[in-house]
Amino acid sequence: MKQRLAILGSTGSIGTSTLDVVARHPERFEVFALTAASRVDELLQQCLRFAPRFAVMVDAARAADLAQRLSSHGSATRVLSTPSDLEWVAAHEDVDAVMAAIVGAAGLAPCIAAARAGKRLLLANKEALVVGGEMFMTAVREGGARLLPIDSEHSAVFQSLPDDPATWAQRIDRIILTASGGPFRTRDPATLHSVTPEEAVAHPNWVMGRKISVDSATMMNKALEVIEARYLFNVAPEQIEVVIHPQSVVHSMVQYRDASVVAQLGTPDMRVPIAYGLSWPERMESGAERLDFRRLAAMTFETPDARRFPGLALAWDSLRAAPGTTAVLNAANEVAVAAFLDRRLRFDQIHVVNLETLCALSFSEPHSLADLLALDSQARTAAERAVTRLLA
């Protein structure tokens, strides 16, 4: 039987890499739904090529445009257009696996829907887990879903762990996440105020969406990944360590109780963790180039500089604070990054907005998805206020 896929965020960097892998294995996969928020041309081409039953374009005017163009091509794909349609396709009974590749907290509700419906959930959308936290993991457990990490670091950790999660707690000493250090690893911290969006999104090793590229430059991406690792692998924040590894060959490591370290290596190509998530527990061709150890000049490791990357420590701080704090941090960061990309905020002020929002907001503990979404929107308002104040 073919695996029937819903690919949320199919026009993005992860979405297109997923379709690249899927296209290599037509005998294994069938595309049930594709979704996007913009880029009608790309979604149209994907629909014509993969013939999904549904396409969700979460924008009424763009959805109408897409539907009209699909019908003029004689396509049978049905177009839907609301955020709740994302949840509906993610939980549809004819779907086996959901690739969660929407960027930001906008992906939380469809992730929870897929988790509650017991799907195989391929998680690239780290913000959803950072916002959802324990509640996300409870939905996975109670829905009988299978959560497979797609973030390269977490895929590496997952590949370095034994199959049975029940054995993890007694074996893991530390989880060591590697970070490339992004484009400003060696830049003088005193000059970070003048960084432009173009400089910030030019990542040395990976080609990614704009938001995660800025997060890599501030290392907020790694902060989000520390939070992600805490929930995925159920370890204490103190058990997670970050090391800079500029070559991005070692994708992350597990240090065991006996001091043995197991790592996963490969060329930096997201098709590897995507193919692993799609084929797990098997392996299949990803299309990625092989590592050539004879050409690998060196692998180096260094400690992240707290002056250059002040946001990194917020991961441990927010994990130790009241439940919901990681959702506040994520919302603030989404607002700050958007403002930076809009040239309304300086690069070094992203951290100021995050810190101010964390300090300013008082909130009650979220107990439901609705509470979390309300907290997310409350934090966005506070972060917008911080941006406006900094503009003045």
Q: Which is nearer to ligand NAD, 37 or 332 (CB)?
A: 37
325 counts as binding ligand NAD under rule CB under 6 A: no
Element (H, E) at 13: helix 13-23
Report 149-168 residues binding Mg ion (CB under 5 A).
151-153
Q: Which residues contact 240 (CB under 8 A, 6 or more apart)?
A: 174, 175, 177, 226, 229, 230, 316
Selected range binding Mg ion among 51-59, 148-156, 181-189, 240-248, rule: CB under 5 A = 148-156
d(CA 137, CA 133): 7
Would you mind telling me the total number of residues written for the chain in this entry? 392
Annotated binding site for Mn(2+): 151, 153, 225
d(CA 295, CA 228): 33
What distances in angstroms separate CA 201 from CA 98, 184, 210, one per listed residue?
A: 28, 11, 6
Give the residue, chosen from 19, 58, 240, 337, that forms a contact with ligand NAD under the rule CB under 6 A: 58
d(CA 179, CA 67): 42
Q: Which does 180 bind (CB under 5 to 8 A by kind): Mg ion, ligand NAD, none?
A: none
Give the residue, chosen from 209, 237, 304, 323, that forms a contact with ligand NAD under the rule CB under 6 A: 209
Q: Per-residue x/- marks for ligand NAD, 93-112, CB under 6 A?
A: --------xxx--x------
Annotated binding site for 1-deoxy-D-xylulose 5-phosphate: 126, 152-153, 180, 203, 216, 221-222, 225
Q: Which is nearer to ligand NAD, 19 or 382 (CB)?
A: 19
Q: Which is nearer to ligand NAD, 42 or 173 (CB)?
A: 42
Q: Per-residue x/- marks for ligand NAD, 132-171, CB under 6 A?
A: -------------------x--------------------
Residue of 130, 124, 148, 189 whose CA lies nearest to 3: 148
d(CA 234, CA 188): 36
